[in-house]
Amino acid sequence: MQLGFLVDLHLCMGCKGCEIACKVENEVPLSTWRLRVKYVDVGTYPETKRTFTPLRCNHCENAPCERICPVSALHYIENGIVNIDRERCIGCAGCVMACPYGAIYIDPETQTADKCTYCAHRIASSMMPACVVACPVEANIFGDLDDPASNISQYIQDHRDVQVRKPEKGTNPHHFYVGAGQVNLNPLASERIEGYNLFNKITKLPLGGHHE
Amino acid sequence: MIHETLAATNAVVTLDIPLPDVFWGWYVTMNMWAKSIGTGLIFMLFLLLRKNPDEMKGLRTSTLIVSFIFMNIFLLFTLADLHQPFRMWHIFFYPHWTSAITVGAWMATIFVGLEFLMIVLGFQKKTEPFDKLLFWVTLLAIPVTLYTAGIMAEATARELWQMSTESVQMILAATLSGSAAIILLAGSKLSEKTQKFFGVILGLSALLAFIIYMSEYIFGAMKSEEVAAILQYVKGDGEYATMFWIGQWVAYILPMGLVALSRTSNSSSILKLAAILAIVGLWVVKHVWLVIPQLLPMS
């Protein structure tokens, strides 16, 4: 079994329901996110549009975070999920530095690394991840990539524009996007203008170790 | 850059909350800097043993103690940078051998243990076993110096750090700071000829490291879009441009000139000044190179 995710960006309307469901389900502390929706505005007024891209851990087949973790706190489980053992993590932040997708954070409450686990605890109880359940338009498609009859496999077969983030990194992500362009997937494809963010003053909880 | 950044399409991120950016800050800079001095001194002591063993007298124990102190500074900052420092023992009881952090932690621990043993031998005036052990400790100092480059290479998100260049830079940092440290430490205990020898190592290390940085600075942008974006932080009015050039001048350019001047004027004071500048400047250079890739948004 190889679990994977696919987001159809044609359907996503940026409601952030998935983000909130994830926060609640996993008790993700303030100032950290396992899943977040990025907004990118494209074009010049009046010809503008807003794009929405949910971003989460890609559960890579060749995960740099798993490789660099010195104590195997990040590890694969049999269904292909890259899971994390908080009790073992020493908080070296090697995984934070190794993830090309910026998907790992240090939990300010436990002082350990954390990230999306595809709701591994729910899957163990035969439930769908919280973000899948919360999505009002079924833009999140989750299932077994090894099963050609699964929803996700069918979706991949039926759509030609299936992409992953940063394929050049050789990580083989198990998280796919349909209907994505460079602005969705490439962080360097859009400008980040100081003061033009919808949220400009984010309160960040203090972390241990040292940060600048 | 790609088409979405053209004025015609104008793509602007209006909502994204990236996770905190600089995770490896000056604690990690201290880690790399102190380790360079610690292993560099071992390299220089070994060279001295091979070149002129007579001048080792009085330098064996003192050099080892200084190296040992810097290796412990390195370990202290490594520990302090952990968010769960009291779980450090997990590295030894749950080791994950694909991680350069694990391999490095084990090697550095063995290295420091052997250094302690050599200090004991030095105090007991057991010169012969000391010198025999120095050979093996010098061999171990090579991977201990290099493993940080492995960690940086495994941080694949930061495309600027490539194992090939970083490993050479780590060795050069060790030979630069090691030669500088032994010039300051041994001082008049060394003959003029030996001082000049270490001066040459200092000057050549500075030259080679400077060439590599300039190669990255000029040609790095041609490698990839990410590297090009990262290098913007040290170019023009980039956030770290001033600090980058201060580092290059203090660590490399000025010491190179001062080493040449010390040779023509036979001045050990100028050589010592070059040594001080190299050690100070190395911290700045390492810090800039550590921080700039972390400024780039990952998502």
The pLDDT of residue B10:
82
The pLDDT of residue A208:
60
Percent of chain B with pLDDT over 90: 87
A191 DSSP assignment: B
The pLDDT of residue B1:
46
Residue A196 lies in a domain: no
pLDDT at B2 over 70: no
Q: Which domains does chain B have, with CATH numbers?
A: 24-295 (1.20.1630.10)
pLDDT at B146 over 90: yes
Cross-strand bridge partners of residue A82: A76
The pLDDT of residue A136:
97
Say how far apart CA B292 and CA B226 lie, in whole Å. 11
Tell if the CB–CB gap between A68 and B99 is shorter than 8 Å: yes
Say how far apart CA B70 and CA B66 lie, in whole Å. 6
User: pLDDT digit string (tens) for B18-74?
Assistant: 666 788 999 999 999 999 999 999 999 999 999 999 999 889 999 999 999 999 999
Residue A202 lies in a domain: no
The two structure tokens encoding residue B155? 């941080």
Q: Which of B10, B78, B28, B36 is nearest to B282 (CA)?
A: B36
- A84 three-class SS: strand
Q: Which of A125, A134, A93 is nearest to A112 (CA)?
A: A93
pLDDT at A7 over 80: yes
Q: How many structural domains compose chain A?
A: 1
Say how far apart CA B131 and CA B215 lie, in whole Å. 39
With a CB-CB cutoff of 8 Å, which residues 144-203 of chain A face chain B? 169, 171, 181-183, 186-193, 196-199, 202
Cβ burial of A24 (10 Å; 0-12, 13-18, 19+) is: exposed
User: pLDDT digit string (tens) for A9-58?
Assistant: 999 999 999 999 999 999 999 888 999 999 999 988 888 899 999 999 99
Query: What mean pLDDT comes out for the span A150-155?
Result: 96
Are residues A8 and A126 in contact, defined by beta-carbon separation less than 8 angstroms?
no
Kindly list the residues from chain B whose CB atom is less than 8 angstroms away from the CB atom of residue A96: 19, 23
Which residues, at least 6 apart from A146, have a Cβ–Cβ distance to it below 8 Å?
A: A1, A2
The two structure tokens encoding residue A180? 């994505």
pLDDT at B270 over 50: yes
Kindly list the residues from chain A whose CB atom is less than 8 angstroms away from the CB atom of residue B8: 44
Q: Buried (b) or exposed (e) across A46-68, using 16+ Cβ within 10 A?
A: eeeeebbbbbbbbbbbebbbbbb
- Of B279 and A48, the structure prediction assigns the larger pLDDT to B279
Number of H helices, E strands in chain B: 11, 1
Tokens 């100081």 sit at which residue? A194
Say how far apart CA A99 and CA A113 lie, in whole Å. 12
User: pLDDT digit string (tens) for A112-124?
Assistant: 999 999 999 999 9
Kindly list the residues from chain B whose CB atom is less than 8 angstroms away from the CB atom of residue A197: 13-16
The pLDDT of residue B291:
96
The pLDDT of residue A31:
81
- H-helix or E-strand spanning residue B74: helix B60-81
Tell if the CB–CB gap between A210 and B27 is shorter than 8 Å: yes
Are residues B21 and B294 in contact, defined by beta-carbon separation less than 8 angstroms?
yes
Are residues A129 and A120 in contact, defined by beta-carbon separation less than 8 angstroms?
no
Single-letter amino acid, residue B10: N
Cβ burial of B8 (10 Å; 0-12, 13-18, 19+) is: exposed
Q: What is the pTM of this model?
A: 0.93
Say how far apart CA B205 and CA B228 lie, in whole Å. 26
The pLDDT of residue B14:
86
Q: What is the mean pLDDT of chain A?
A: 92
- Domain region containing A52: 3-189
Kindly list the residues from chain A whose CB atom is less than 8 angstroms away from the CB atom of residue B15: 37-39, 197-199
Residue A208 lies in a domain: no
Say how far apart CA B78 and CA B105 lie, in whole Å. 10
B88 in contact with A, Cβ within 8 Å: yes
Residue A105 lies in a domain: yes
The pLDDT of residue B187:
83
With a CB-CB cutoff of 8 Å, which residues 87-106 of chain A face chain B? 88-94, 96-106
CA angle A175, A178, A183 (to 5 degrees): 90
Say how far apart CA A90 and CA A146 lie, in whole Å. 34
Single-letter amino acid, residue A46: P
Residue A212 lies in a domain: no
- H-helix or E-strand spanning residue A143: strand A140-144
Residue A24 lies in a domain: yes
Percent of chain B with pLDDT over 70: 96
Query: How many other CB atoms are found less than 10 A from the CB of residue A161?
Result: 11
Kindly list the residues from chain A whose CB atom is less than 8 angstroms away from the CB atom of residue B161: none
Residue A144 lies in a domain: yes
Tokens 């990952």 sit at which residue? B298
- Of B187 and B236, the structure prediction assigns the larger pLDDT to B236
pLDDT at A177 over 60: yes
The pLDDT of residue A193:
81
| Residue length of chain A | 212
A209 in contact with B, Cβ within 8 Å: yes
The pLDDT of residue B6:
60
Q: What is the CATH number of the domain that holds A132?
A: 3.30.70.20
Q: What is the mean pLDDT of chain B?
A: 94
pLDDT at A205 over 70: no
List C-alpha distances in Å: B231 to A33, A135, B227: 29, 40, 6
Query: What mean pLDDT comes out for the span A66-90?
Result: 97
A86 in contact with B, Cβ within 8 Å: no
Tokens 């990262």 sit at which residue? B230
List C-alpha distances in Å: B155 to B23, B76, B168, B293: 12, 22, 17, 10
Tell if the CB–CB gap between B99 and A181 is shorter than 8 Å: no
Residue A135 lies in a domain: yes
